[in-house]
Amino acid sequence: MRSPPRSPAASTILGSISLLLAGTTALAQPALDERQYVARVLASSLEGRVAEQEARLGRAEAVGAGAWPNPALEWERQKTTSGTRDGESQDVWMASIPLVLSGRLGLEAEAADRNARAAEARHEWARAGLRHEATRTFAAVLAARERRSILEQSLAELLRLAEAIATRERAGEAAGYDRLRIELEAATVRDALRGAGLDAHRAEAQALRLLGPGVTALPPLEGSLQMERPLPDGAALLAELEEKRGDLRALALEAGGAEAARRAAGRGWIPEPSLRAGAQFLDVGLPGAGAGYVVGVGLPLPFFDRRQGEAARAEARRELARARHAALLHEARSRLATALEAVSGRRERLTKYRTEVLERAEELRQIAATAYRGGSAELLVLVDAERAAREARLTAVELTESLIEAETDLLLLAGTPEGTTPRSATR
C-alpha cells in the first residue's frame, strides 16, 4: 500500500520547517514544563522587553516633577566711555529665586506619581497578557502533539490490519474489497496526519517565537493536557476585579493624576513672587571704589494667563479616563460572567464525554478486535470501531484544549493570570 505522492514544494516546505525547529535539538536542552516555559517567555520575549521599557518611560516622566524652581545668578557691568563720568564703572551681582507659595508643586508631584503608578499597572497588565498567550501556546503545542500521536497510533493499527488482509487475500480468504477499504481508511488517516504535522509545526513555531531571538531551537516541552487547574471562586473574582485588573487600576490612577494636575493648574491665579538680592561694586580697581547692596521683589500679575488651558486639558483627561474605566469595567464584568459559565459548561461537558463517549469507544474497539480475531465480526466492524475510537480521542483532545483556553481567558479577565499555572497533572 502506497501513500499519495507528496509534491516537491510541499516536501521542501516541510523540510525547511523541520530544519528550522529541530535543527539544533540534538543539543541537550532541559525539558520545560508549563510553569518554566511561561517564566522563560516573560524573561526573554521581545514583547516583555517592550512592556518593561514602556513602564520605564512612565517612571522616567515622573522624575523631577514637583521640584522647586532653580535659583538664578546674574552679573552685570556698566561703564561710561564719554562725558563727565568717563571711566566710571559699576558691577552688579544678583541672585534670585522664585517663591512658589501656591502649593502647586505638591499637586504636580502627586499627579506625576499617580501617572508613574499607572505605567506600572499597565506593565503588569501587559505581562498578564503575555502570560496568557504563553499558557495557551504551550497547551496548543501539547494538543497538536497529542493529535499527531493519536493519528500515528491509529495508522499503525490500520497498516497492521492491511498486512493481515493482504495475507488473507493471497490465501483466498478475503476479497479485494476488504483490502481497498482498509487502504482507503489508512490513506484518510495518513492525510489527517499530514495536517496534524503542519499544525504541530505551526504551534511549535509560535512557541519558539515567544521565547525571543536568543533561542534558536524550541526546548523539549513536557506536560499533560489532563491537568487540574485551580480557579478562584466566581463571586471573589467579581468582587476583586477592579483591584486585580492592571488596566482598570491604570485608568483609575490616570484619572487621579489628571485631577491632581487640574487642581495644580487651578492655582495659577496665585502670584508666585521672586526674591532678588545682590551686591553692587563701583569703580572696581580705581581710587574711591565703593560697594553697595541690591534687593528687590518681583510680583507677576496673573490677569490674563492663569493656566486655564492646562486646567481644561487636565479636566478633559480626567473625564476621559473615568469614562474609559466605566466602559472597561462594565465590559470586564459582563465577559467575566460569560467566561465563568463557559468554564463550568466545558468542564461538565468534558467530564461527561470521557465517561459516556471516550470510555465506550475504547471498549467498543477492544470488543471488535476480539470478535474479529475470533471470526465472528467482519472487517468493516473493526474499521468502524477503530474510526470511532480515533475520533473520540481526537474530540477529547479538542475539548480539553478548549477548556484550557476558557480557563486562561477567565483568569486573564479576572486579572489573576498567575492562577493558570497548573497545580498538578493527572491522567
Q: How many domains does the chain have?
A: 2
What is the share, in percent, of the chain residues with pLDDT greater than 90? 57
Residue 237 makes CB contacts below 8 A (sequence gap 6+) with: 244, 336, 340, 410, 414, 416
Residue 337 lies in a domain: yes
Q: pLDDT tens-digit profile of 263-295?
A: 999 998 989 899 999 998 887 767 777 888 889
Residue 294 and residue 162 in one domain = no
Residue 24 pLDDT > 50? no
Q: Is the pLDDT of residue 170 over 80?
A: no
Report the alpha-carbon distance of residue 193 to residue 151 in Å, rounded.
6
Q: Would you call 144 exposed, middle or buried from its count of C-beta atoms within 10 A (0-12, 13-18, 19+)?
A: buried
- CATH classification of the domain holding 83: 2.20.200
Q: Read off the amino acid at residue 388.
A: A
Which residue, chain included where needed, has cell 508631584? 109
Q: What pTM value is reported for the model?
A: 0.82
Q: Are residues 265 and 275 in the same domain?
A: no
Structure confidence at residue 238 (pLDDT)? 82
- Looking at the structure, tell me whether residues 217 and 82 fall in a common domain: no
pLDDT (0 to 100) of residue 25: 46
Minimal CA–CA distance to 185: which of 7, 390, 358, 6?
Answer: 390
- Say yes or no: 365 and 416 in one domain: yes
Question: pLDDT-derived band of residue 190, with 50, 70 and 90 as boundaries?
Answer: very high
Note the pLDDT of residue 331.
Answer: 94
Mean pLDDT of 10-28: 48
What is the span of the domain harbouring residue 76?
A: 71-99+270-305
Domain termination residue (choose one: 253, 278, 305):
305
Mean pLDDT of 304-331: 94
Alpha-carbon gap, residue 167 to 165, rounded angstroms? 5
Indicate if 276 and 397 belong to the same structural domain.
no
Q: Both 79 and 198 in a single domain?
A: no
Edge to edge, what strands does the sheet with 290-298 contain?
72-79, 89-98, 274-282, 290-298
Domain check: are 393 and 362 in the same one? yes
Q: What is the pLDDT of residue 41?
A: 95
Are residue 276 and residue 214 in the same domain, yes or no? no
Residue 5 lies in a domain: no
**Rounded mean pLDDT of 406-413?**
91
| CA triple 375-381-385, angle to 5 deg | 120
Residues 49 and 134 reside in one and the same domain: yes
| Residue 155 counted as domain residue | yes
CA distance 350 to 344: 10
pLDDT reading at 2 higher than 70:
no
Whether residue 238 sits in one domain with residue 297: no
Asked if 4 and 187 touch (Cβ cutoff 8 Å), the reply is yes
pLDDT tier at 406, thresholds 50, 70, 90? very high
Query: Which CATH number does the domain housing residue 119 bear?
Result: 1.20.1600.10
Residue 385 has pLDDT above 50, yes or no: yes
Give the confidence band of 398 by pLDDT, cuts at 50, 70, 90: very high
**421 neighbors 34 (Cβ within 8 angstroms):** yes
For residue 386, what are the contacts with CB-CB under 8 A and spacing of at least 6? 154, 157, 158, 161, 185, 365, 368
Q: Of the spans 100-109, 204-213, 232-241, 373-382, which averages the highest pLDDT?
A: 204-213
Q: Kindly report which listed range (29-33, 48-52, 85-89, 99-103) carries the lowest average pLDDT score.
A: 85-89
Average pLDDT, the chain: 85
Average pLDDT over residues 356-380: 85
Determine the pLDDT at residue 379: 76
- Per the domain annotation, does 12 fall within a domain? no
pLDDT of 40-84, one tens digit each? 999 999 999 999 999 999 999 999 998 999 999 999 888 877 776
Are both 293 and 255 inside the same structural domain? no
196 and 284 co-located in one domain:
no
DSSP 32: B
